[in-house]
Copies of this chain bind each other. A is one copy, B any other.
Amino acid sequence: MSLQIKIEKTKFPKPKPNQDNLGFGQYFTDHMFIMNYTEGKGWHDPRIVPYGPIPFEPSTMVFHYGQAVFEGLKAYKTTDGRVLLFRPRKNMERINISNDRLCIPPVDPDFCVEALKTLVNIDKDWIPEAEGTSLYIRPFIIATDPYLGVRNSKTYMFMIILSPSGAYYPGGINPVKIYVEPRYVRAVRGGTGYAKTPGNYAASLKAQDEAHNEGYVQVLWLDGVEKKYVEEVGSMNVFFKINGEVITPALEGSILPGITRASTIDLLNHWGVKVTERRLSIQELYEASENGTLEEAFGTGTAAVISPIGELSWEGKKMIINNGKIGELSQKIYDTITGIQNGRLKDEFGWTLEVK
């Protein structure tokens, strides 16, 4: 795509939010990127405009049939003032995998990375600088036909919005308690589990609510067919270290192919730690916990990077992992990935992209 991005800067820059209290996903920068798709014309009119509300017809298809996809990644400010993105092309490749499942026309990943860099550069003063903070980046596509028939939309909007966000672990990393979900199902093979599409998240809210009520932070999903195999946790992929070997569920269509997951596997391979992608039953996990071979457990995702799991509750049985403390390997992965992201460690893998 050799499109030219039109840029209209805001005349009314907003005050920046209090840097000590950013939270997640609640403040937005001064600008946003928009591009439209029209059947027969393709993606057109890429532009950066002041951030603000957009008028939508109540009949807009996304409200009714959820034809939409999204991505999530972060920009980090290094101590020497550079701005780094972490593997942004992977997100733009993944959005096309999601697009294919949702019957949304593909985007040009290189052009979208360009758009993203241009936008982040314009709003770079919004990137927070304190340890662990970042600029959360949300590219998303929605179906925009004003039409109530159930069919693919003929028009779409691709947008990128930016949200300065606080540290995930303001008080230091602490392991979480996770509830193994016995009843609700997030996704099943043949469904949309591998795509980053709104419906998957809507479907997960109820189980999340019930887990919260029981005092757990998130749920661990089991497969939708046999309710036996471990899938993923909330917005994270999941890894277990059992007897020295790291195991993570294989990508069989029902879980999101996480970019932090892929990076974790690359690191483990690089370090010579045995890592296996396969089915892992909750029963096997329980037995490993009982016989003392379940050494570490953690989730991986853009938001937390690594989220150690200190306790799993399964049908009333509790598995306490590493005495509820973060494991050595989990810590090493966390330190390495965040070190590469914030520029303190050498990026041996070519994972970061500088915005200038």
A201–B63 Cα distance when bound, in Å, is: 11
- A64-B138, A159-B58, A198-B66 known; A205 and B152 CB under 8 Å? yes
- A66-B198, A205-B67, A205-B103 known; A25 and B190 CB under 8 Å? no
Is A323 in the interface zone, CB < 8 Å from B?
no
Q: Which residue of B lies closest to A205 (CB)?
A: B103
Cross-interface CB contact of A150 among B64, B136, B189, B234, cutoff 8 Å: B234
Q: Are B59 and A56 in contact (CB under 8 A)?
A: no
A151 to chain B, nearest CB (A): 7
A229 to chain B, nearest CB (A): 14
Is A132 in the interface zone, CB < 8 Å from B?
no
In the assembled complex, which residues on chain B have CB atoms less than 8 Å from the CB atom of A186?
191
- A53-B56, A102-B202, A152-B209 known; A142 and B189 CB under 8 Å? no
Q: Which of the four size classes fits the interface of chain A? A: 35 or more
In the assembled complex, which residues on chain B have CB atoms less than 8 Å from the CB atom of A206?
101-103
Is A73 in the interface zone, CB < 8 Å from B?
no
Q: Which residue of B lies closest to A70 (CB)?
A: B64
Q: Are B147 and A205 in contact (CB under 8 A)?
A: no
Is A272 in the interface zone, CB < 8 Å from B?
no
| Copies of this chain, whole number | 2
Cross-interface CB contact of A198 among B56, B65, B208, B225, cutoff 8 Å: B65
A182 to chain B, nearest CB (A): 9
A141 to chain B, nearest CB (A): 10
Q: Are B55 and A53 in contact (CB under 8 A)?
A: yes
Cross-interface CB contact of A188 among B28, B67, B103, B185, cutoff 8 Å: B185
A57–B149 Cα distance when bound, in Å, is: 25
Q: Which residue of B lies closest to A198 (CB)?
A: B66
A216–B192 Cα distance when bound, in Å, is: 22
- A57-B53, A70-B64 known; A192 and B202 CB under 8 Å? yes
Q: Which residue of B lies closest to A102 (CB)?
A: B202
Pairs A–B under 8 Å by Cβ, sample size 13: A25-B59, A26-B147, A54-B56, A63-B68, A66-B68, A67-B205, A102-B205, A103-B209, A150-B201, A150-B235, A151-B205, A191-B191, A192-B202
Contact surface of A with B, Cβ cutoff 8 Å: 24-26, 28, 32, 51-59, 62-68, 70, 101-103, 136, 138, 140, 142, 146-152, 159, 161, 163, 183-192, 197-206, 208-209, 224-225, 227, 234-235
Given contacts A54-B55, A184-B191, 11 further A-B contacts (CB under 8 A): A28-B59, A64-B198, A67-B202, A152-B205, A185-B188, A185-B189, A187-B191, A188-B225, A190-B227, A191-B224, A199-B200
